[in-house]
Amino acid sequence: MSFKFASWVRALMKGMGHRYIKRIPYMTPKGRRYRYIYRVDHTHQGKHAFHEDHFIQGTKFALSTEDGAEFHGHIESVDGDKVKYVIDDGPQKGAVVETTKQELAAKLNEVHGVSDKLADARDKASADLEQVKQSGGSEKQIARARRRLLALGGTEDKETTPTEQLTETEPRGFGDINQEYQRRLAAARDKARENLERVTRRGGTKKQIAQARRKLRALGGTETVDTRAPDSEDPKPTAQSASPSGVTDSSGQLMSKRTLQEIVANIVETESKTKRLNIADLHGALYQRGVSIRPGQLKDLLSAASSRNIISLKPWTEGLDKVEYPEYLISRLQGNMMYHVEPANGPKRDLPDTPATVQSNGRPLSLAEVSQEVVRKLGSNATSIKDLEAGLRESGMDIETGHLHDHLNLLNEKGIVAFEEDRMHTRNPDATSSLVRRDEQGITRVYDKVRLAQ
C-alpha cells in the first residue's frame, strides 16, 4: 500500500487534542470511524452536523470554545429522546449530565451559535443552487447543490426558477410561452433586486449582501447604483465578461503594485498593533479602502512584498482543518503554509510601478481572455498546476501563481474544470503551485492538478 503523507498528517493531528467542535462516530466495513467537525455548517450523512440524529452514543462535542478554557463532553448513552453525557475535561471533569436531545441542542446552540450560522449557510446554499440552475449547470451539479441545501435543513425556492414553472403549464404557442417566461423572469429579478436593496438598507453583513447579489446576478439582473459599495464582494465574471483580470480601485481602474504596496504596508503597520493580522483580515481591510482584489492576487502581492522585506509572512502552525479561510494560505516547500502578516524590519526594496494584472506582450488581459486561454491549455487528463502556469508563460502570458488560482477557482465554480488532490509530500517540487481550498464537505484539501470537467 502506498504511503500518503497527507493522510498521515491528518491522522496525526486528530490525535493531538485539536479544536474540533464535534466528533461523530459512524461504522464502515472496516470498523468504527469518526467524522470530525470544525464548522457548524459541516454536514454528515446528508444532515448538518448538529442535527439531533447525530446525538448518538460516542458522540463528542465542545462545551466551551474560549481560548485556554476549551472542554468537551461525550454521550455515554441514548434512550429515545433522553441523553446522558459525561464532561471530559475542564472544571467539571467527570460530571454526568442527564438531559434531552432538545435541551442538548439548545445548549450547543448557545455555545456555537448554531441557528444563526446554519441560517447563513442555508441562504448561501440556496443562492448557489439557483445560480447553478440559472447558469445552465449539469444535472450532477444541480443535484450536488440541492443535496447541500437539503442537508443544511433548507428548502428549494421554486419562485426563482421560471423555466421549471413553465413546464407545469399547458402547452401553448412558442410566442405565448416566451412572453410568459420573460414576464416571470422579470418578476423574479425584481424580487431579487428588492431583496438586495432591503438587505443593504438595513445594514446587512458583507456576507448577506454578497448572497443577495449572487441571487440577483444568477437571474441575469443588475443592481441599482445605491446598492454598490467600495467594500462589496468582487463580482463573479461571466464567460463574456470584459472585466480586467487585475486589481482595481473603487472606480474600476487598474492599480499598480507600488500603490498596493503602500496601502498594504500601512494596513499591516496599523492593524498589527492591536491584533495578530491574518491574510483574510488584510483582504477585508483592503476592500474597505475600495481595493477590488481576489485572494490569489493578494497572495502574489504579499509573496513579492515579503521577498523585498516590505512585510513579513508567518506560518500557520496548526492543522489545516483548523484554518478558518484556507484559500488564503500561501503554499511553501517542506509543507509550510504562510497565513499571518507582520511588519518587516530592515531595509526595504519597493515593488515595481507596474499594473497588478495578467499581461501579454505588455497588454493587460481581461478575465475572459485569461480564462479562455487556460481552458485551451487543459484536456480531460489531469495537468499539474505548475506545468499549466509554465505553458501559459511560454505562450506569452505574464501570469503569477495566485492569479492563476483565482481563474481556476472561477472556472471550477462554473463546472468547467475539476481539481485532483496532492499527496502533500514534503519534497513535492510542485508544492508552491498547489491550490488550497475546502471541498463540498467542508474539508480543507491541497490540490496540485487540474483538468477539464467531464
pLDDT bin (cut points 50, 70, 90) of residue 180 is low
Residues 6 or more apart whose CB falls under 8 angstroms from that of 199 comprise 208, 209, 212
* Confidence at residue 202, expressed as pLDDT on a 0 to 100 scale: 66
User: Is residue 349 pLDDT above 90, yes or no?
Assistant: yes
* Confidence at residue 2, expressed as pLDDT on a 0 to 100 scale: 43
Residues 6 or more apart whose CB falls under 8 angstroms from that of 438 comprise 326, 327, 444, 445
* Confidence at residue 17, expressed as pLDDT on a 0 to 100 scale: 41
Identify the weakest region by mean pLDDT among 190-204, 274-288, 410-424.
190-204
d(CA 31, CA 24): 14
- Percent share of the chain, pLDDT over 90: 17
d(CA 3, CA 189): 52
Residues 82-118 pLDDT 10s: 999 999 887 788 889 999 988 888 888 888 888 888 8
User: Is residue 141 pLDDT above 60, yes or no?
Assistant: yes
Identify the weakest region by mean pLDDT among 66-70, 147-151, 284-288, 328-332.
66-70
Residues 297-320 pLDDT 10s: 999 999 999 999 999 998 888 777
Cα 312 from chain centre: 25
- Percent share of the chain, pLDDT over 70: 76
Name 37's bridge partners. Answer: 22
What is the pTM assigned to this prediction? 0.49
> Within 10 Å of residue 42's Cβ, how many Cβ atoms?
23
Mean pLDDT over 149-154 rounds to 83
Query: CA–CA distance from 68 to each of 222, 268, 283 (Å)?
Result: 47, 27, 28
Pairs from 61-67 (Cβ < 8 Å, separation ≥ 24): 61/21, 61/22, 61/23, 61/108, 62/19, 62/20, 62/21, 62/22, 62/111, 62/112, 63/87, 63/90, 63/107, 63/111, 64/90, 64/111, 65/19, 65/21, 65/111, 65/112
pLDDT bin (cut points 50, 70, 90) of residue 428 is low
d(CA 351, CA 242): 27
The full 3-state SS of 323-351, as one line of letters, equals CCCHHHCEECHHHCEEEEEEECCCCCCCC
Q: Is 146 left (phi over 0), alpha (psi -120 to 50) or beta?
A: alpha
* 238-259 burial: b if 16+ Cβ within 10 Å, else e: eeebebbbbbbbeeeebbbbeb
In the chain, what are the domains? 5-112 (no CATH), 122-227 (no CATH), 257-343 (1.10.10), 359-452 (1.10.10.10)
Structural contact between residues 234 and 292, judged by C-beta atoms closer than 8 angstroms:
yes
d(CA 116, CA 420): 33
d(CA 444, CA 324): 10
Cα 158 from chain centre: 26
d(CA 41, CA 117): 7
Question: Which grid coordinates are listed for 27?
Answer: 461504522
pLDDT bin (cut points 50, 70, 90) of residue 266 is very high
The owner of cell 492599480 is 255
Structural contact between residues 356 and 256, judged by C-beta atoms closer than 8 angstroms:
yes
158 by Cβ neighbours in 10 Å (0-12 / 13-18 / 19+) ranks as exposed
The owner of cell 475600495 is 290
Question: Which grid coordinates are listed for 412?
Answer: 471550477
Question: Which grid coordinates are listed for 327?
Answer: 484559500
The owner of cell 449557510 is 121
What strands, in cross-sheet order, belong to the sheet with 82-87? Answer: 31-37, 22-28, 60-64, 71-79, 82-87, 96-100
| Cα dihedral 211/212/218/220 (nearest 10) | -150
pLDDT bin (cut points 50, 70, 90) of residue 51 is confident
d(CA 206, CA 267): 20
